[in-house]
Amino acid sequence: MTTLPRLLLALLACVALAAPAASQTCPVVPDDAFAFINAGSDECPANPEVFWTDAAVPYDCSFLANGPNAIDCGGDASACVALCEDAANVWNADLPGRFTFVAADDTVDFCDPGDGKVSIGGTTTLCDGSAYGSRVLAVTLSIFYSGGLQAGQLIDANITINQAFQFSQPGFQATLGHELGHALGLSHPDQCSDDFNVLMRSASLFTPQSECFVVDPTTADIRGAERIYPVVNPTPNPTPGVCGDADLSGVVTVTDGVQVLRASAGLSSSCTAARCDVDGSGAITVTDGVNVLRSAAGLSSIAACP
Over residues 50-70, the pLDDT tens digits come to: 889 999 999 999 999 989 999
C-alpha–C-alpha distance, residues 26 and 211, integer Å: 8
Backbone angles phi, psi at 182, to 5 degrees: -65, -45
Element (H, E) at 94: helix 77-94
Model confidence band, residue 96 (pLDDT cutoffs 50, 70, 90): very high
In single-letter form, the type of residue at position 8 comes to L
User: What percentage of residues in the chain have a pLDDT greater than 70?
Assistant: 85
pLDDT given for residue 227 in this prediction: 85
pLDDT digits (tens, 9 = 90+) for 247-268: 777 788 888 888 888 888 887 7
Residue-level pLDDT at 238: 41
Q: What is the pLDDT of residue 107?
A: 86
276-287 burial code (b ≥16 CB/10 A, e <16)? bbbbebeebbeb
Nearest-10 Cα torsion for 197, 203, 206, 209: 120
Distance of alpha carbon 216 from alpha carbon 228, whole angstroms:
19
148 phi-psi bin (left φ>0, alpha ψ -120 to 50, beta other): left
Task: State residue 177's pLDDT score.
Answer: 96
- Kindly state the average pLDDT of the residues 135-139: 90
Note the pLDDT of residue 158: 94
**Beta-sheet strand order (sheet of 154-162):** 3-8, 138-145, 154-162, 118-123, 56-60, 100-103
Neighbouring CB atoms inside 10 A of 201's CB total 24
Q: What is the pTM of this model?
A: 0.69
State what percent of residues in the chain have pLDDT above 90. 41
pLDDT attached to residue 274: 84
DSSP tag of 213: -
Please give the pLDDT value at position 239: 46
Rounded distance between C-alpha atoms, residue 219 and residue 280, angstroms:
22
**Residue 179, pLDDT score:** 94
- Alpha carbon distance 224, 187 (integer Å): 9
Domains with residue ranges and CATH for the chain: 3-12+33-228 (3.40.390.10), 233-306 (1.10.1330.10)
CA distance 11 to 80: 18
Phi, then psi, of 156 in degrees rounded to 5:
-165, 155
Q: d(Cα 183, Cα 84) in Å, to the nearest integer?
A: 13
Quick one: DSSP state of residue 176? H
CA 27 to chain centre: 24
Count of all residues that appear for the chain in the document: 306
Mean pLDDT to the nearest integer, 219-244? 73
Give the Cα separation of 77 and 144 in Å (integer): 32
Average pLDDT, the chain: 82
Whole-number Å distance between alpha carbons of 162 and 172: 11
Q: Quick one: pLDDT at residue 182?
A: 92
Residue 152 has pLDDT above 70, yes or no: yes
What is the spatial distance between Cα 225 and Cα 37, in angstroms, rounded to a whole number?
Answer: 8
pLDDT at 112: 94
